[in-house]
Amino acid sequence: MSRPRVLVTGADGQVGRALLSEFAGSAELIGCNRQTLDLSSPDQIRARLLAVKPDVILNAGAYTAVDRAESEREIAMAINGRAPGVLAEEARKIGALLVHYSTDYVFDGSKNGPWVEEDRTNPLSVYGESKLAGEDAIRAVGGPYLIFRTSWVYAPEGKNFVLTMLRLGRERDSLNVVDDQIGAPTTAGELARATYAISTGVLSGKFGPETDWAATYHMTCGGSVSWCGLARSIFERAPGLLAGRQPSVNPIKTSEYPTPAKRPLNSTLSNEKLQHKFGVKLADWQQALDEVLKSLANRN
Ligand SMILES: NC(=O)c1ccc[n+]([C@@H]2O[C@H](COP(=O)([O-])OP(=O)(O)OC[C@H]3O[C@@H](n4cnc5c(N)ncnc54)[C@H](OP(=O)(O)O)[C@@H]3O)[C@@H](O)[C@H]2O)c1
């Protein structure tokens, strides 16, 4: 397929933007934000997909306010839990590839070592529950789908930990950051690059029939770190983005930073299945962080 028609939901989000930029030039892109395709409306989803008839649907839209979801279960469930199933049904009807993103928060964090795809899910939060419901809905429909579970996503723009730390680092002399939750910080850019490589491979038949590849995969940057370790790395690697001095970063426990939603202590995902099936590996988290910090420095 020379120039596939690719519909991106959540086009204004971190991953949505990165996907639009990665696929630009080699696809006919239809970027949809909440105004042009509201994922909480099954009717809108069906009508839009019928009108556009895309070859690929990249579902980057989601309800991502993890703490707010605790008090907004119904809307989180509609967007994260039910919309993916509707997308999968329509994708199957028109023969489109559905790429969907899910989260490390489907696990409870209790494992010693990286989680593999077959490990038992046990979300601790409404957000995690809603994302798991979305995965289950897609798997129940079947068809040509790819579910990529990722973690700790950030980009040079958007709402994310890296930008928050840089802002607080400019404002304060010292910060308390949680040190007992570990995971793999992953850039939207790395996710977009991997998604492009895999989806173009799928469309060209490189990976065989859908029965060979339609499944759930973990997709994160390599390595792992705590939030506290990540904050320290940001400050060490980007002195030029601070206010002329390094803030000190004090490690604290999750119990000292209570939030409405409970988060897994160990979020690290194994990427072996992705590498084995598609030969695709994302950069290590430090290298990907440097790329984002460089892009931020170039804007200043
Ligand atoms: N961010 C993370 O740390 C993280 C970690 C693991 C997995 N993921 C998954 O990765 C995917 C991409 O996340 P992201 O980091 O790019 O999140 P994001 O920056 O919050 O983007 C999500 C986008 O979805 C849009 N959206 C929300 N409700 C919608 C609706 N009813 N209809 C249409 N669009 C709607 C949002 O629009 P508004 O701005 O208007 O709300 C936003 O543009 C999601 O599936 C997320 O669950 C993210």
The whole-number pLDDT of residue 245 equals 85
Q: Which of 101, 105, 127, 154 is catalytic?
A: 127
Q: How far is the CA of 126 from the centre of ligand 1 (A)?
A: 15
**176 three-state secondary structure:** strand
**8 A C-beta contact, residue 59 and residue 87:** yes
Q: How many CB atoms lie within 10 A of CB 72?
A: 17
Tell me which residue has its CA closest to atom 21 in ligand 1. Answer: 13
Q: How far apart are CA 8 and CA 218, in angstroms?
A: 20
Q: Are strands 56-59 and 153-154 parallel, antiparallel or unpaired?
A: unpaired
Tell me which residue has its CA closest to atom 10 in ligand 1. Answer: 101
**8 A C-beta contact, residue 22 and residue 8:** no
The whole-number pLDDT of residue 254 equals 96
pTM above 0.95, yes or no: yes
Distances (CA, A) of 28 to 55, 56, 206, 243: 10, 10, 21, 43
The whole-number pLDDT of residue 299 equals 85
127 carries an active-site annotation: yes
Q: How far is the CA of 63 from the centre of ligand 1 (A)?
A: 6
Residue 107 in contact with ligand 1 by CB distance below 6 A: no
14-23 and 188-203 are packed helices; what angle lies between their axes, rounded to 10 degrees?
50
Buried b / exposed e over 253-290, threshold 16 CB at 10 Å, is ebeeeeeebbbbbbbbbebebbeeebebebbebeebbe
* pLDDT tens, N- to C-terminus, the chain (300 residues): 679 999 999 999 999 999 999 999 999 999 999 999 999 999 999 999 999 999 999 999 999 999 999 999 999 999 999 999 999 999 999 999 999 999 999 999 999 999 999 999 999 999 999 999 999 999 999 999 999 999 999 999 999 999 999 999 999 999 999 999 999 999 999 999 999 999 999 999 999 999 899 999 999 999 999 999 999 999 999 888 887 888 999 999 999 999 999 999 999 999 999 999 999 999 999 999 999 999 999 986
Task: Please choose from 9, 34, 151 the residue to mutate so as to test ligand 1's pocket, defined by most ligand atoms within 8 A of CB.
Answer: 34
**261 three-state secondary structure:** coil
The whole-number pLDDT of residue 2 equals 77
Residue 10 in contact with ligand 1 by CB distance below 6 A: yes
